[in-house]
Structure 1
Amino acid sequence: MSGNAAQVEFSRENLENVLKRRFFFAPAFEIYGGVSGLYDYGPPGCSFQANVIDIWRKHFVLEEDMLEVDTTMLTPYEVLKTSGHVDKFSDDMCRDLKTGEIFRADHLVEEVLESRLKGDKQARGLVSDADSDAKEDADKKKRKKKVKEIKAVKLDDEVVKEYESVLAKIDGYNGDQLGELMVKYNIGNPVTGEPLEAPKAFNLMFETAIGPSGQLKGYLRPETAQGQFLNFNKLYDFNNLKMPFASAAIGKSFRNEISPRAGLLRVREFLMAEIEHFVDPEDKKHERFHEVSDVKLSFLPSTVQESGSTTPIETTIGEAVKSGLVDNETLGYFIARIYQFLVKIGVDPKRCRFRQHMANEMAHYATDCWDAELQTSYGWVECVGCADRSAYDLTVHANKTKEKLVVRQKLDEPITVTKYELDLEKKKFGPKFRKNAPLVEEWLTSRSQDELVKLKEELSSNGKITFKIPEIEDQIELDNTFIAIEQRTKVEHVREYTPNVIEPSFGIGRIIYSIFEHTFWSRAEATERAVLSFPPIVAPTKVLLVPLSNSKELQPIVKEISRTLRKEQIPFKVDDSGASIGKRYARNDELGTPFGVTIDFESVEDGSVTLRERDSTKQVRGEVKDIIKAIREITYNNISWEEGTKDLKPFETKVDEE
C-alpha cells in the first residue's frame, strides 16, 4: 500500500461504491427487488475468488499433499440427523408479535449494547456524533433515527464495565441466557421499543425433498465436512493405508440465515473450503511443526474473554503449544498455516487475530477450537475456524451405519489390552422388544468404555439397568438375564482406533470482503481516486496495456505484447479509449490491477515500453521481454518491485496527474 494511504481515512461508503460500480458483486435478482443474503459475482469478483481458491489449493492441497474430493450438496436427512445438525444447527431468534419482524438474538443484544456505549462516549465528549455515525452501517443508521437508547446518555461506570464484559462474551451465550440479558437490559424492538418474544432456536438448514415422491427428506448441506467423513474408508485406502493424512473440499454450502446483513459477511449461499486432517488420537505431533514454530500470532484465549476483556496475547505458535494455550502441535501447525495463507492473499496482519471458543460456546465433542477473525468496519469477523473435533464424526456415523471407520495399525510387538465387553442374549431381545430390538442392540453395542463402566456399576448395584432411546417412547429396562458386562484381557497384534480430526474451515466470501477493506485506500493528493492494493498473485487482472493514442503505428506493438502475455498466461486488459492515460490508470487502480504498460511512439522506434506500479505509481522503462519478465517474477515468484525491476531504467512522467 502506498504511503499516501494513511493520510486518508477509510470510508466503507466509498468502498461499496467502487465494488458496485466495478461489479465485483451485486445483489442477486436485483431487477426483481433482490433476495436478502444472495449475491452474484461479476467479472472482477469472479476472477478474484478463483485466484484466492487457486492459492488455497496450492498452499494447502499441494503443499500438504491432501486428497481433494467434491461431494454432493444434497444430503439425506439421516446423515445430518446422525451428525447432530438436525437437532443443534441453529441460531436463536426473537419475534416482534405485533409487526412479525424477526431478529437474531445475539446480534440484537450486541447492537443495542454497542449503541448505548457509543451514546455514553458521546455524552462524555469522547467521540463526536459525526465520528459515531461514520462507523454505523446502513441498517444501524436506519434504526438510529428512532432508537432512544443510542442517544447521548451517560452511563454509570459499573454499567459500562458490565456492558463491555457482556460484549466480550457475546459468542458464548445460549438462547436462555440471551433472553435473560434482553429482560435485564430492557432490550426490545430497536425501532419501536416494543417487547420481543423470548429467543427460540431456528434451524438454519434449507430443507428439501429428494425424488418425485417427496418421501426422501433431505437438506442442502450446511458444510462440506460430512461428505469427507463418509468417504473416510475410500480415502484411507487411496492413501495406501498411511496415517496421518488430510482430505480437502471446496464447494457451495447453504444456511438459512435469520437476518442476512453486511454484504458478503452473512449470506445464505456461500463458498467454503474445508480440510479434514485425520490423526492418531495418541500422537498429535506434526512432523513439519518446526517450520512454523516461530510464527508470531495474536491470540484471544477463552480465559481472557471470560474475564470480560478483549486484549489479545501476542506470542509464537511454538510457545502457544508448549504452554498448553493451543492444545496440540497439529492444531497449532494449521493455525500458523492459516495465518500465512491469509497474509499471502492480502489480509493485513495487524487486523488478524485468533479467538478461542469459550467453554459454553465450544461443541461438546471438540478438544479445542480457534477462529481466525479479521477486523473490518463491521467489527471482528470470524472467517476461518480451526477445530480439533476429536473422533466425534467418524464415531457417530460408524455407530449409525455399522460400517467401521477405523485405522488398523499392525504393532511391532503384541500388546496386552484390558477392556470391558458387553455380552447380549440376543434370542431374548426379539420376543421382548419386537421391531425395536435392533434399536436396543445398537444403543448397547455403541457404548464407550466409560459408559460400560457406569452400566456395569448400575447392573451390579441394582440388578438391572435402565435407559432411554429417543426413537422408543417407553424407558428400557434390562436385567442380568439379558446382558453381562465383563472386563477381559487380550493380547492384540493389531491396534484399531478411530482417528481424531483437525478441521480448518474457510468462509471464502468473508475472507474476500475483509481483503477488500484491508486493501482499499484513496490517494491523498486526489481522494476521489480509490485503489485496491491486491497482491499481484490474486489481482483479477495483472496488466493494463495503455497505448498512448489510437494511432495505427502503435497497434502492431499492442497486438504483439498481447500475444506474448497470452502465451505467458498473464491476465491483461487493453484500454485504448480516448480518456487520458491518468484516468485510464485510475479506473484500473479501482480494479486492483497492479501493473500498467504504456506503449508510446518511442516504442515504435526502439521497442521499449514503460511499466507502472499501481501503489507507488513508480515507472521504469525497458524492452518488452524484460518488462514481461519483471511482471512474471513479481506476480508469480513473490519478488519485490525493487528486485524485479533493478535492471530497468527509472522513468519520470506526470501522466498520473492528468
Structure 2
Amino acid sequence: MDKFTMINELARRRGFFWQSYEIYGGVSGFVTYGFLGARLKQNIENKLREIFVNKLGIMEIEAPIIAPSKVFEASGHVDHFKEPMVECQKCKRRFRADHLLQETAKLGEAEVEKLSLEELKEAIERHDVRCPECGGEFGEPKYFLTMFKTTIGPYSDAVGYGRPEAAQGIFVEFRRLYEMAREKLPFGVMQIGHALRNEISPRQGLIRLREFTIVDIEFFFDPEDPNCFLLKEVGDETLRLVLAESKLRGSEEIVEVTVKEALEKGYIKVPWQAAFMAIAKKLLTELGVPAEKQRFIEKLPWERAHYSLQSFDQEVYVDRWGWIEVSGHAYRTDYDLRQHMQFSGTDTRVFKEYEKPLVREKKVVKPLMAKLGPAFKGEAQKIAEMLSEVSPDEVEASFKEKGYFMLGKHKILPEHVEITTCKVEERGRRFIPHVVEPSFGSDRLVYVTLEYAYRVKDDRVVLSFPRDVAPIQIGVYPLVSKDGLPEKALQVYKMLVDEGFSVEYDEAGSIGRRYARADEAGIPLGITIDYKTLKDDTVTIRDRDTWRQVRNRIDALPELLHKYFRKKIDFEDLGTLVKE
C-alpha cells in the first residue's frame, strides 16, 4: 500500500478530508474537509498570510467567485481555457486525452502538451490506449471548456463563469487598489479563495479537484525599474531549476544556482519572480518538504498559459504521482491590465514623474473626429481618448498586416486616424505596470504537508506536522478518570484555551491509547495531569515525535508554550527532562 492510499484512508477515518456527497455515491473532484483537515488548511493559509501580508505588506482582498463573461473574454480564458477530451465508445466515460497518454503510454508532459487534436488521435491509436474503466476504444478527441458556465439572474443571456483562478478579481479592481497603495509601485495584492475548474476526469484526490482553494498574488511593478529589495534577503538562496532548454533536449537535468546567479545567467527574467520562487521554496521547507524533494521546472512556450512570458512550476516529489505542482510562478507582463483596458475602456496605466521634464519628438495617434463620429456615434469620444494613448507603432503594424487595428471590440481603420510626430515636453510617462504572479494550490499544500508528515514509529502512525500548522496544538489528559485528576485536567484545559491555544481534552481509554490517537492526529504536545500534579502543581509535557517528556509547573506553561509555538524555544526548554 503506497502513501497516497494510506493517507487517504487515515484522512477519512480521522476526519481530515473525504469525498463529498458520499451518501449519493460521491462526486469526483469534490472533497469535504473535516475538523482536523479544515484546521490544517487554515493554518497553512495563515502561514501564507504571515509571509506575504504581515511581513511583505501585500494587501489581501476578497472578490466574487462568479464573474460576468466579459471578464473572461477579456482575459482570454474563454478562448484558451480548454483541455483535450476523449470519450469511450463503449461505456461513454470521458477522459483527458493528454493525461491518458502520460499515464498509459508514459509520454512526457512536454511531449503531449504541444499535440494537436489530430496528433493526439494518432498517438492514442499508435499506443493502443484503451479506456481504463472498460477497455473500450476512444472516439475523436475534442476540446472541452473547463470553466463552469452559469447565468447571472433570471436572464439566460447574462452569462457568467465560475472563476478558474482568483487573479482576475484583482486585475479588474486595479484602479481602486492602486489608489489604496497610494499610487506607488511596486505593490502586491493577494486573494485566497475558492476557484472552479470543470476537470474532465479528476482522479488524484486533493491534487486535482473541481472546486479548490487557490492563493493568487499579483505583484505590480515598473518594468523599467525592476529592482527588488527582497534580493538582499533571498539572493543567496539556492534554487533547483529544470530549464526549458534542457526539456527541449529531452532531459530534466537540475541546475542548482543561487537566486542572484539565476538572474545573472538569464535563467529567470525578472528579479521579483526569482525572489518569490525563493520564498516559495522556504515555505515548502517549513511545511516539512526537504529542499532535495523540490524543484522549479520551466514551462516551454506551448505549455505556458496564454498570458505568461515565462513560467516556472514549483514541484514536490510525492510517493505515488512523482513530481506534482504546488505553486506556479508566472511573469504575466502587462497582458491582463492591457486586455481589461481595451475591453472595458478603463485606463489601467499609471503615471510616473521624471526628475526633470524631457523634450523630445514623439510619434502620436491623432484621432480624426470627422471620421470617428459617423462611424462610432456616441462612443466616438471615448474611442478617441483611448486611441490617443495607444502605441503608434502597434497601430501602424496592425494597419500594415491586417488593414485595421482592434481597439477592444472596435475595428479602427486607417481613415479614422492620422499618425504624426510632434515635439512634446514630458513631465513623466504613462505605462501599464507589469505583473509577476506566485500562485499556490492550498489543497495541494495540505496534501504534501500530510505526506511528508506521515511516518510509522513502533507500528504506530505519527503525523509529524510542523508545530505552527498542526491542527491541534496541545492535548490535555488526566492520567486516570478518577481521584480528582479529570477536574484538575479540565482546569488546565480551560487555562490553555483562554490563552488562545488549540487544545483537545481526552480522558477516554488508557493513557497509551490517548497518546496514540494524539500522534495520529499530529498533536505536537501532550500534557498529562497525574497524582504528582495534585501535590506540587506540576505536569508532564510529552513530545509527539520523540516521545520524550519534561516536567514543569502549570503556571509556567502559558509563556513557555507561546514561545514554543512561535519557534522561539525547543522542546527541551519547556521543563526538566523526565528520566525513563
For normalisation by structure 2, the TM-score amounts to 0.93
Q: 1:546–1:596: 8 Å Cα contact kept in structure 2?
A: yes
Q: Shift of the alpha carbon at 1:37?
A: 0.9
The equivalent of 1:499 in structure 2 is 433
Matched, 1:517 2:451: yes
Matched, 1:84 2:26: no
The equivalent of 2:578 in structure 1 is 651
Q: Secondary structure at the match of 2:462?
A: strand
The equivalent of 2:203 in structure 1 is 261
1:272-329 deviations in Å (ceiling 9; x for gaps): 1111110001111201211001111211111112211123222222211121111121
Given candidates 566, 590, 595, the residue that maps to 2:520 is 590
The equivalent of 1:40 in structure 2 is 32
1:307-346 alignment to 2 at 5 Å? 307-346=249-288
More RCO (CA 8 Å, sep 6+):
1
The equivalent of 2:534 in structure 1 is 604
1:351-397 deviations in Å (ceiling 9; x for gaps): 21111111211234422211111111222111111111000111111
The equivalent of 1:631 in structure 2 is 561
The equivalent of 1:557 in structure 2 is 488
The equivalent of 1:485 in structure 2 is 419
Q: Percent identity?
A: 33
Distance change (3 Å), C-alpha of 1:466 and 1:570: closer
Q: 1:265–1:509: 8 Å Cα contact kept in structure 2?
A: yes
Q: Which whole-Å CA distance do the structure 1 matches of 2:284 and 2:469 have between them?
A: 12
The equivalent of 1:387 in structure 2 is 330
Aligned residue pairs total 579
Q: Which whole-Å CA distance do the structure 1 matches of 2:408 and 2:348 have between them?
A: 24
Q: Shift of the alpha carbon at 1:10?
A: 5.8
Structure 2, unaligned stretches of length 5 or more?
none
The equivalent of 1:136 in structure 2 is none
Q: Shift of the alpha carbon at 1:111?
A: 0.5
Q: 2:342–2:407: 8 Å Cα contact kept in structure 1?
A: no
Q: Which whole-Å CA distance do the structure 2 matches of 1:349 and 1:10 have between them?
A: 22
Q: 2:392–2:419: 8 Å Cα contact kept in structure 1?
A: no
Distance change (3 Å), C-alpha of 1:294 and 1:467: closer
Q: Secondary structure at the match of 2:183?
A: coil
Q: Secondary structure at the match of 1:590?
A: helix
Q: 1:611–1:627: 8 Å Cα contact kept in structure 2?
A: no
Amino acid paired to 2:403: I
Q: Which whole-Å CA distance do the structure 1 matches of 2:360 and 2:118 have between them?
A: 45
Amino acid paired to 1:535: P
Q: Secondary structure at the match of 1:389?
A: strand
Q: Which whole-Å CA distance do the structure 2 matches of 1:596 and 1:613 have between them?
A: 7
Q: Which whole-Å CA distance do the structure 2 matches of 1:435 and 1:92 have between them?
A: 43
Q: Which whole-Å CA distance do the structure 1 matches of 2:158 and 2:67 have between them?
A: 10
Given candidates 382, 385, 401, the residue that maps to 2:344 is 401
Of 90-99 and 284-293, the range deviating more from structure 2: 90-99
The equivalent of 1:361 in structure 2 is 303
1:166-216 deviations in Å (ceiling 9; x for gaps): 456445555454334324433343455544233222111111111123331
Amino acid paired to 1:567: D
The equivalent of 1:4 in structure 2 is none
The equivalent of 1:130 in structure 2 is none
Distance change (3 Å), C-alpha of 1:418 and 1:29: farther
Q: Which whole-Å CA distance do the structure 1 matches of 2:109 and 2:416 have between them?
A: 53
Amino acid paired to 1:206: F
Amino acid paired to 2:357: P
Matched, 1:421 2:355: no
Given candidates 234, 248, 255, the residue that maps to 1:306 is 248
Distance change (3 Å), C-alpha of 1:58 and 1:176: farther
Q: Shift of the alpha carbon at 1:21?
A: 0.4
The equivalent of 1:154 in structure 2 is none
Q: Shift of the alpha carbon at 1:348?
A: 3.3
Distance change (3 Å), C-alpha of 1:573 and 1:267: same
The equivalent of 2:462 in structure 1 is 531
1:561-572 alignment to 2 at 5 Å? 561-572=492-503
Of 187-196 and 283-292, the range deviating more from structure 2: 187-196
What RMSD, in angstroms, separates the aligned Cα atoms of the two structures? 2.6
Q: Secondary structure at the match of 2:23?
A: helix
Of 375-384 and 625-634, the range deviating more from structure 2: 625-634
Q: 1:420–1:452: 8 Å Cα contact kept in structure 2?
A: no
